[in-house]
Amino acid sequence: MKLSSATFVLASIATSVNAFAPSLTSSKSSTALNLILQKTTGQSPLDPSVISKYDSLAYPDGKVLAEYVWVDADGNTRSKTRTLDASKAESVNSLPKWNFDGSSTGQAPGDDSEVILRPCRIFKDPFRPRSDTLDNILVMCDTWTPAGEPLETNARAVAEKAFDGHDDEEIWFGMEQEFTLFNLDERTPLGWPEGGMPSRPQGPYYCSVGPENSFGRHITDALYKACLYAGIDISGTNGEVMPGQQEYQVGPCVGIDAGDQLTMSRYILQRVCEDFQVYCTLHPKPIVDGDWNGAGMHTNVSTKKMREEGGLKVIKEAIYKLGAKHQEHIAVYGTGNELRLTGLHETASINQFCFGVANRGASIRIGRDTEAEGKGYFEDRRPASNADPYVVSGKIMSTIMEDVEPEVIVPMDKSEA
């Protein structure tokens, strides 16, 4: 039977304990292992032999487990499981709606707490693989009242309206999700001394190798493989500028699917961190003191016209429209973003819109290849790491599709950053 990454780590530790203490009884060995695990961040305190015992049980014929996933009032993912006949899990349309207690997620009052889950997208479940011909599934859902109205927290329904009627635009989104890993004390990033700062400034940690530079690679690698297994269009990963910070990219995805895939990838990320017993935060500025980068969700955008000859002109017109509504976008681009968008650490000031070519100190960056080819995409660098991907993609879509003549904005020169 194939072991998960976390289980493999645990099994290795158990083997080491037995190798160094062969005279220990089984009970004493188990106690020693638990003591090690309690003091070691990044490893689940569960006995791998116990996990394996239940993982080896066969699933009943014709039945699948469906994990229904949704976004709560705070933007976090929640989930619960149900058993379905395999025939019910063949498509989104065949999946039944479900409900949950919205009073426990900040989405409904206690005296009328039922919230309806509407299935929107199916992914394979990487946490419950099976050896037969069926797949257990993850189901991305949005949230509705019993009367059929979308909840105020249902950002997907709002984004759907922005994309409706624009199928011919074939808009692509590529989202770069940065996140920061902490010990379970929720105060010490991976690789940092407890209660202190790293001895070296940021620089050597970006895309790094080596135990003194790279912290959390095993978690990002596990996330990468789990997302690929699930069917998410994860396109890459890298270590980020601040030690303990990582990034992965999802896309290009078309339209509303960008929000579905990025949201489900966040759920998978949290499940992976649960296995490794590491705390993960999407806060855009988890370390305020010191000279450290924040975390964003840079969003790359390209319509069909932007990818055709003369596309650079279309890109600039879209950027002018975004500039005219800068504060509207900032208002929905994540909480705590004012701590990150300071004009330092590869950001533009939250109070001033600007764009430039190959300039990571701009609000929006046009890539050097896009400029040279005269077509391609642009990168909105303003969204915070905790921004709602449905809100971001829907807001960008509604703004750049407006039939207005925007005021021309002079590009920012690299020397001004």
pLDDT above 80 for 44 = no
Mean of the pLDDT values across residues 50-55? 88
Look at residue 47 in the predicted model and tell me its pLDDT: 77
Look at residue 45 in the predicted model and tell me its pLDDT: 59
Look at residue 46 in the predicted model and tell me its pLDDT: 67
Please give the share of the chain, as a percent, with pLDDT higher than 90. 85
**Low-confidence winner among 35-39, 137-141, 184-188, 253-257 (lowest mean pLDDT):** 35-39
d(CA 171, CA 163): 9
| Band of residue 105 on the pLDDT scale cut at 50, 70, 90 | very high
Which pLDDT tens digit goes with each residue over 266-323?
A: 999 999 999 999 999 999 999 999 999 999 999 999 999 999 999 999 999 999 999 9
Look at residue 35 in the predicted model and tell me its pLDDT: 53
pLDDT above 60 for 16 = no
* 84: β partners: 64
**Which of 293, 302, 309 lies closest to 189 in space, CA to CA?**
293
d(CA 141, CA 151): 12
Mean of the pLDDT values across residues 229-234? 98
Look at residue 50 in the predicted model and tell me its pLDDT: 84
Rg (C-alpha) for the chain, rounded Å, is 23
Average pLDDT taken over every residue of the chain: 90
Look at residue 48 in the predicted model and tell me its pLDDT: 79
Look at residue 122 in the predicted model and tell me its pLDDT: 98
For 167-416, which CATH superfamily applies? Glutamine synthetase/guanido kinase, catalytic domain (3.30.590.10)
Contact yes or no for 115/44 (Cβ under 8 A): no
Both tokens of residue 54? 């239940």
Q: Which residue has the higher pLDDT, 23 or 59?
A: 59
Residues 245-264: b if buried by 16+ CB within 10 A, e if exposed:
bbbbbbbbbebbbbbbbbbb
Q: Which residue has the higher pLDDT, 12 or 250?
A: 250
Contact yes or no for 79/68 (Cβ under 8 A): yes
Look at residue 28 in the predicted model and tell me its pLDDT: 54
Mean of the pLDDT values across residues 20-40? 47
Contact yes or no for 332/382 (Cβ under 8 A): no
pLDDT above 50 for 6 = no
> 191 CB contacts (<8 Å, ≥6 apart)?
198, 205, 215, 216, 243, 244
pLDDT above 50 for 5 = no
Q: State which fold the 63-152 domain adopts.
A: Ubiquitin-like (UB roll) (3.10.20)
* Domains of the chain by residue range: 5-55, 63-152, 167-416
Look at residue 150 in the predicted model and tell me its pLDDT: 98
Mean of the pLDDT values across residues 342-354? 96
Both tokens of residue 218? 């095993």
**Dihedral over Cα of 336, 337, 341, 345: its sign:** positive
Task: Give the type of residue at 177.
Answer: Q
d(CA 31, CA 15): 14
Look at residue 392 in the predicted model and tell me its pLDDT: 98
* Cβ neighbourhood burial of 200 (10 Å; 0-12, 13-18, 19+): exposed
| Band of residue 412 on the pLDDT scale cut at 50, 70, 90 | confident
CA angle 180, 212, 275 (to 5 degrees): 45
> 158 CB contacts (<8 Å, ≥6 apart)?
150, 390, 391, 394
| Band of residue 23 on the pLDDT scale cut at 50, 70, 90 | very low
**Which of 215, 209, 193, 194 lies closest to 278 in space, CA to CA?**
215
3-state helix, strand, coil in the chain (%, to 5): 35, 20, 45
